[in-house]
């Protein structure tokens, strides 16, 4: 089976999607679409698509794609996604999936009714280290279900030139989201938690504007976030989002009743945390030695991937798209469950409602 793909929204992320589509076997980028037709044309010409459009209806009617990649601003995801599903196409939607839980629920319901598949671009779930961690958990490394989840997600805005430019450009679509910058970035972090926490949970969120932003004259944009969660099974989770923390890490700790795991997306490393305690002064030496061996193993693994030219920055997105296409070809469950997509949207809505009370009240 050859999958015919198209892209709606021909900005920065569309470039990455187009390159991956062209690299995958048995796939073809047949059309591009953007409200600015020149953007659609240049992407089509550079990645070999035969047609380009400035109207989604025409794209769907003429090209009849099997899959549509939606890489437009999030405010349009629901409407474009609905059009594509009702026209008979599967959809790959960049994060955030939609702007609220209700839109997410409706798109999933439409997909089920139309027997079409959908997924969301939280590609960090499919990086090499995230996939390895998932395998370790399935093999029982934690010793049971997770007890605690801890996510650090940093977005470095220490470059004052970039930050000032961003703050001045109030016309950018990010400013029009209910949760502004937070809503655009945290789906990656939230999805890490959603995979392991139950649908029934309590959540407390605190958001504030950092002193750095205040000094630049910005009083309304929230760029610091702390979240605490507990589900009905007493699985707890912390989420820390920051533009100011150093090191600017993207790290996920999963702690179980026996052992734990640390996944570092920046360094692309995975460390197995041993729950065993050693006697007396051995506790000061043996664990450090074992962890040093793991770091050495991570170093050589990354070096080997780099030498073989397999150490791609967007490897997770490649893996996610490939898995999504296979689920279409084989009529299997999509790589990210609809339950997790709904949980991610629900958690995000609850966070935004608490930190931007006037927005969703």
Which residues in the chain are classed under CATH 3.30.360.10? 125-315+344-360
pTM summary value:
0.94
Task: Render pLDDT for 291-335 as a digit per residue (tens, 0 to 9).
Answer: 999 999 999 999 999 999 887 778 999 999 999 999 999 999 999
Question: In whole angstroms, what separates CA 146 from the centre of its chain?
Answer: 21
**What confidence tier does 361 reach under pLDDT thresholds 50, 70, 90?**
very low
pLDDT in tens, 224-263: 999 999 999 999 999 999 999 999 999 999 999 999 999 9
* pLDDT at 359 (0 to 100): 46
Residue 69 makes CB contacts below 8 A (sequence gap 6+) with 5, 6, 7, 8, 14, 17, 21, 91, 92, 94
Contact yes or no for 40/54 (Cβ under 8 A): yes
Query: Which stretches of 154-285 are DSSP H helices?
Result: 160-168, 180-185, 187-194, 211-215
Among 320, 276, 341, which residue's Cα sits nearest to residue 111? 341
**Averaged over 167-173, what is the pLDDT?**
92
Over the chain, what is the mean pLDDT? 96
d(CA 294, CA 18): 36
CATH of 3-120, one of 3.40.50.720, 3.30.365.10, 3.50.50.60, 3.30.70.920: 3.40.50.720
- Positions of CATH 3.40.50.720 in the chain: 3-120
Residue range 125-315+344-360, CATH number: 3.30.360.10
CB neighbours of residue 272 within 10 Å = 14
Q: Cβ distance 352 to 179 under 8 Å?
A: yes
């Amino acid at each position: 089976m050859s999958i015919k793909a198209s892209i709606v929204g021909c900005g920065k992320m569309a470039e990455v999607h187009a390159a991956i589509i062209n690299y995958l076997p048995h796939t073809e980028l047949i059309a591009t679409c953007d409200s600015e037709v020149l953007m659609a044309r240049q992407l089509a010409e550079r990645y070999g698509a035969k047609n380009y459009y400035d109207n989604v209806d025409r794209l769907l009617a003429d090209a009849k794609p099997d899959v549509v990649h939606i890489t437009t601003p999030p405010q349009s995801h629901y409407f474009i996604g609905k059009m594509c599903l009702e026209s008979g196409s599967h959809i790959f939607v960049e994060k955030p999936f939609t702007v609220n839980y209700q839109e997410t629920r409706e798109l999933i319901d439409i997909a089920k009714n139309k027997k079409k598949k959908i997924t969301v671009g939280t590609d960090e779930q499919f990086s090499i280290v995230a996939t390895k961690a998932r395998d370790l958990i399935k093999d029982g490394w934690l010793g049971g279900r997770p007890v605690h989840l801890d996510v650090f997600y940093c977005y470095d805005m220490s470059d004052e030139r970039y930050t000032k430019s961003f703050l001045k450009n109030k016309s950018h679509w990010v400013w029009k989201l209910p949760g502004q910058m937070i809503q655009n970035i945290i789906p990656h972090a939230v999805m890490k938690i959603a995979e392991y926490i139950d649908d029934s949970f309590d959540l407390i969120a605190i958001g504030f504007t950092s002193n750095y932003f205040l000094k630049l004259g910005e009083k309304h944009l929230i760029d610091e976030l702390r979240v605490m969660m507990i589900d009905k099974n007493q699985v707890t989770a912390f989420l820390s989002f920051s533009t100011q923390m150093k090191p600017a890490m993207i790290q996920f700790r999963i702690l179980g009743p026996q052992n734990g795991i640390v996944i570092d997306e920046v360094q692309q490393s995975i460390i197995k945390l041993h729950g065993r305690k050693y006697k007396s002064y051995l506790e000061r030496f043996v664990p450090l030695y074992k962890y040093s061996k793991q770091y050495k193993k991570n170093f050589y693994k990354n070096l080997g991937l780099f030498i073989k030219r397999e150490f791609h920055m967007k490897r997770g997105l490649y893996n996610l798209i490939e898995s999504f296409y296979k689920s279409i070809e084989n009529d299997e469950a999509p790589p990210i469950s609809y339950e997790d997509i709904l949980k991610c949207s629900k958690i995000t809505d609850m966070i935004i409602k608490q930190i931007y009370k006037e927005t969703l009240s």
